[in-house]
Structure 1
Amino acid sequence: MAKWTIEHLLETDPQDFEVLLSRLFSKMGYHTELTQYSRDKGIDLIIRIENFGLVHTWYVQAKRYSDPVGVKDIREYSSIRYRDHVDGVIIVASSSFTKEAIEEAEQHNLKLINGYLLVEMLNHYLPEECASSELQSENDAQTKQDENNAGAILKRGEQVLANETVMMGNEKFTLTITNKNIFLQRVSSGLFSKRSDIEERIELKDLLGMHCEPGKIVLVIGNKKLKLYPLSSRKMQVIEEILESMRPEYVRGEHLINSSRNGTNLTLLTNKRLVVLDNTGNAELDIPNKKIVGVELKGRFLKKEQLIVSEDSGNMKKHSFVVENPAEWKKMIEQCVRTV
């Protein structure tokens, strides 16, 4: 059976390296949680273990480096343990650590795992995973073939505007934006596989708009039933700018006017309706704008001001919304109602 080597580690991309560490610690008996890399604040993995009712939590930072990890990379984690009240911080590298980095870690009780120790741990706990690396050459060849065939999915006159790696939930996708469609290709879960399959083709005319959060964009798609695509990427700003530049192409029918997050719920106002979707995309409330007969603001002492919307669907109903800038929402809803 093939054995793990430093070369195997260096062949993985940084995200796959994080996934590999998650699988390793999980095999060692820890509960693992991969953070969303666009918002991880420097922490790639959280691991926990519980014994006799006592829970211990560690942060894990992955360094998929070919050169030794220096003291500067260690120093930035010296205070995290105390700031977030965790039991410790573990820094795992595919290479080694400089003498200064080791001394810095010892001063702040940071645990270091270098590439050689990591290889031993992988060969002990995940020897079967190494077999997938034997497929690297074959998968690379398939990837090249897939890229050569990519033009086959494009229509005449269709041009690629962006091609970026994104995360949706805990899965990795390749997002391809053209002047006519948005493609989402799921990247194989194999640690060393780069083969993709077309998962979704979204016609640009079906895009209602996007809700933007730090490091994240939620694409709002659909006609009668709306569907959400929450995407995160290190290049989110680039994706946002491209989609915004294409706005004239998708605002001809129903389109997004405003959006606001409240916990796990997303409130959306389009030129046709006011909708509240839960984190699974199910509509908790869907009010056609033509049935809205009143909008008011309700102040709450020491609490957020609420937006109250009156709906006439045979009998009068009042709905309460918690949104950012409710006064602005009130004006937008009233404008939408007037133009129905």
Structure 2
Amino acid sequence: MNEPAASSPARSAEVKARLDSLRAALERHGARSAFLIARRNFAWLTAGGSNHVVLESETGEAGVFVSADEAVVLAPNIEARRLVDEELAGTGLDVVAVDWWRPQGIIGEASRRGRAGLVSDEDLEPDLEILRSRLSGFDAERLAILGGEATRAMDVALAMVGSMTTEVELCAALLAALDDIRAPVLLAAADDRIARYRHPLPGDNPIRSRVMLVLVGERWGLHVAVTRFRDLEPRSPDLEARFAAVTRVQEILHEATRASATLGEVFAAGQAAYADVGYPDEWQLHHQGGTIAYRGRERVAKPDDPTVIEPGMAFAWNPSITGAKVEDTFILGEEDARRVVTRG
């Protein structure tokens, strides 16, 4: 794993800037302090720290308490040492260990420090979603590293597919190739399951002619999304036409993703593209994606979504036409430059 941006001064500066943004949000809400324990917000505020033990949890084991003059991590004494050694180096944040057996634990300690003016992740979520979605240069470089490594792992796993390889064997190969990249979403479908299911959980189904592999990969709290196919037999003319059509829809979605546009406007461009390529109702069968950062989708675009697009946001649009799908992750830069991070 090569991460040139991970020096302590760079990470410390990121954390300081994020604390300033959080304190500004507190002031807007008239709140005195916040305790952020959701995994997505802990990772964002600490510039990549992880606070979880249970993989599928939304909430971590430790949280960051922030007031006008204080910013500390509150953690059960079980977790405190590991957080100091492995998760928070270079952040400038101190860790306060709270005995695991204490009534109300770290929540109680946060309440004691914040008193009546304490707010939670949920209270600040509208503000935090916007802050998480605006990637700094530090985050953008990390996302590019993550996207490149995740895509290479997908290529390695798909290259080993042979006749009668099963979906779960393919997924096991991908997990091994991902190394320390986590996979909160990992889907695979062989043959007729591709057309039947938009979210196919992998099973013992043998791959005979083709397979679809879908990944949301996560490291440093950041996410990338990518879908790839492997064909063991030539595609039919109808399937080739479907892939050409859905690729055109993806191109339109990418082109419509511009600063100052809204997600609703991009969604409308996608709807029109589906009609133009001859599949007007296919958008109804699966969501089309949206913004991506410290969640697999920070916001899934829907009709008339008023969310305003800004430079620095990342996107993963995933149009599909039954039997065919395309999905990549890109960062929108200045002058609407698009940096696709999941292509070799």
Give me the TM-score of the superposition, normalised by structure 1. Answer: 0.27
**Bigger fraction of residues in strand:** 1
Structure showing greater relative contact order (alpha-carbon pairs closer than 8 Å, 6 or more residues apart): 2
Give me the TM-score of the superposition, normalised by structure 2. Answer: 0.27
**Higher-Rg member (1/2):** 1
